[in-house]
């Protein structure tokens, strides 16, 4: 089990909170609206006559998992220098996203730090939910129709591309419906973890034998998505529920998917038909690591109490990345398969900005922002030929990494970070401090509740407020494609 799960679990600590005043402009209004939407349900698409033909509207949603402004600044300073500009910096419209989460026990109570499951559900369905849930409502466990399902129903192209397992929370929330994100494969539907009880799962209501849709991998295998690319082969290698020998991958093939597992097979896959690419057992390896596998570490102290800052290090290629298709290659492959004269909804995720930040690995994070940046180049090339494409770039939630002073002004008083700390030697000759201090354990860092950026092109003259709720991502995509839920 990937360590990321330790802090990505559904059990975000939820204190009982004083009910805030109801106010037309407050987040509670959004929560109330979301609760109403959850009760009313969202379903049925309205096929758009504009969905076919030259200039048919298209949406590309790029998600940097955990990519808050600290992550972007750290990456910019390292990749292009402190005078440099990323492609992200030249997007024509910038807004910010309010990240909101509901309590599972009482959906009227807000939670201030999200996980990838509930935040991706906000973007995919336009409805708030609780941490750990995949396109299902908090507490009531109703399925929420997603933008991908609306697009499929309208006959549009659809695709999910990620550097995580395709069953991980972000991609899963766009197509699957299940009460717990960890129910990724048939053998994960009911599991007990005594050391970390919050890793235990009970998705029995979604077992096929109980009339459910099965695990996330089984739901992807049964889907009508045109292209699904990422990691997660181990979940598709499991025997499917109710089958004597057939694996989830076998079910995908029976449902029309060509299943590939290497960059070469991806490049050589025929243009037509559905494609499922699984390039790693779980999360795909990242392209960079710290020199000699260096990561942030707890600040040491000499016997006399003097602070001993960690030695600076630079980034180097991660040998484990060899042979992996790059995110930009996967995005290109997806765009080639999605028809130019048909509307489509494509979600592309750079997932390990988050996962490497959990592990306090600044070079891994930066390499993943670099992958997103490279992929944005591919996307912008596409939009030059297809200006009818709405491009939305955002993050799902904040992360622990913080750009901090590399030597505290108070170091002579033996002051240092109580958390983990790295000093990065940048290519332009500086030293950048990256601090991780969301908890004092040696386990993993945790998310933060900061708002996240939204960078947009292709709005076609429409205005975007300086701050939008995360559910607005769904509305922007649905409106552009001429889709709506009722």
Distance CA 137, CA 118 (A): 9
By C-beta, is 8 or 226 nearer to Zn ion? 8
Is 116 marked active-site? Answer: yes
**Shortest Cβ distance from residue 190 to Zn ion (Å)?**
24
Identity of the residue, 8 or 349, whose beta carbon is nearer to Zn ion in the bound complex: 8
Residue number, 4 or 77, with CB nearest to Zn ion: 4
Q: For Zn ion, give the closer residue by CB, 7 or 222.
A: 7
Phi, psi of 368 (to 5 degrees): -75, -35
Closer CB to Zn ion, residue 289 or residue 397? 397
Place of tokens 């590939």: 260
Residues that bind Zn ion (CB under 5 A): 8, 354
Tell me the residue number closest to Zn ion, measured at CB.
Answer: 354
Hey, what are 45's tokens?
């698409």
Going across the sheet that includes 257-260, the strands are: 257-260, 274-278, 227-231, 157-165, 344-350, 58-64, 389-395, 452-457, 93-98, 467-469
Shortest distance, CB of residue 351 to Zn ion, whole angstroms? 9
Alpha helices in 338-385 (DSSP H): 352-358, 362-385
Query: Active-site residue among 9, 48, 103, 116?
Result: 116
- In the complex, minimum distance from the CB of residue 58 to Zn ion, in angstroms, rounded to a whole number: 29
* Helix axes 69-79 and 362-385, enclosed angle (nearest 10): 90
Can you list the alpha helix ranges (DSSP code H) found in 53-188? Answer: 69-79, 116-125, 147-153, 169-172
- d(Cα 98, Cα 101) in Å, to the nearest integer? 10
Nearest CB to Zn ion, comparing residues 8 and 68: 8
* Residue linked to tokens 């089984």: 218
DSSP bridge partners of 63:
349, 394
Residue 304 CB: number of other CB atoms within 10 A? 6
Q: Which helix (H) or strand (E) is 336 found in, with range?
A: helix 327-337
At closest approach, how far in Å is the CB of 66 from Zn ion?
Answer: 6
Q: Is 263 left (phi over 0), alpha (psi -120 to 50) or beta?
A: alpha
- The catalytic residues are 116
């Amino acid at each position: 089990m990937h360590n990321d799960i330790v802090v990505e679990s559904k059990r975000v600590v939820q204190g009982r909170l004083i009910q805030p005043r109801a106010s037309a402009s407050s987040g509670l209004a959004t929560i109330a609206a979301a609760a109403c939407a959850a009760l009313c349900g969202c379903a049925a698409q309205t096929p758009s006559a504009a969905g076919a033909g030259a200039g048919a509207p298209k949406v590309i949603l790029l998600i940097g998992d955990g990519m808050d402004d600290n992550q972007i600044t750290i990456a910019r300073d390292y990749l292009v220098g402190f005078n440099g500009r990323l492609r992200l910096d030249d997007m024509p419209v910038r807004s910010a996203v309010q990240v909101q989460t509901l309590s599972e026990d009482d959906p009227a109570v807000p939670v201030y730090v999200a996980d990838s499951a509930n935040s991706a559900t906000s973007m995919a369905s336009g409805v708030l939910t609780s941490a750990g849930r995949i396109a299902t409502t908090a507490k009531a466990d109703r399925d929420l129709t997603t933008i991908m399902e609306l697009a499929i129903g309208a006959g549009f192209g659809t695709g999910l591309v990620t550097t995580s397992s395709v069953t991980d929370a972000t991609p899963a929330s766009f197509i699957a419906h299940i009460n717990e994100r960890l129910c990724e494969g048939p053998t994960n539907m009911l599991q007990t973890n005594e050391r970390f009880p919050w890793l235990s799962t009970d998705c029995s209501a979604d077992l096929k034998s109980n009339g459910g849709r099965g695990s996330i991998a089984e739901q992807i295998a049964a889907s009508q998505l045109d292209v699904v690319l990422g990691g997660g082969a181990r979940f598709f290698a499991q025997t499917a529920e109710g089958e004597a020998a057939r694996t989830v991958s076998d079910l995908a093939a029976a449902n029309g998917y060509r299943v590939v597992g290497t960059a070469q097979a991806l490049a050589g896959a025929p243009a037509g038909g559905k494609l499922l690419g699984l390039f790693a057992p779980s999360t795909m390896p990242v392209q960079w690591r710290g020199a000699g596998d260096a990561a942030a570490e707890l600040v040491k102290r000499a016997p006399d109490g003097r602070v001993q800052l960690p030695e600076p290090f630079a980034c180097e290629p991660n040998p484990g990345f060899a042979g992996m298709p790059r995110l930009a290659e996967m995005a290109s492959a997806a765009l080639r398969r999605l028809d130019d004269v048909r509307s489509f909804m494509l979600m592309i995720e750079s997932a390990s900005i988050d996962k490497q930040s959990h592990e306090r690995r600044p070079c891994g994070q930066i390499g993943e922002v670099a992958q997103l940046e490279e992929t944005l180049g591919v996307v912008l090339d596409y939009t030059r030929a297809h200006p009818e494409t709405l491009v939305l770039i955002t993050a799902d939630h904040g992360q622990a990494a913080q750009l901090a002073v590399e030597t505290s002004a108070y170091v002579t008083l033996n002051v240092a970070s109580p958390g983990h700390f790295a000093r990065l030697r940048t290519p332009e000759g500086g030293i950048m401090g990256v601090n991780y201090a969301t908890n004092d354990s040696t386990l993993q860092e945790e998310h933060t509740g900061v708002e996240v950026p939204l960078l947009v092109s292709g709005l076609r003259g429409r205005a975007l407020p300086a701050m939008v709720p995360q559910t607005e991502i769904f509305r922007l995509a649905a409106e552009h494609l001429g889709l709506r839920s009722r």
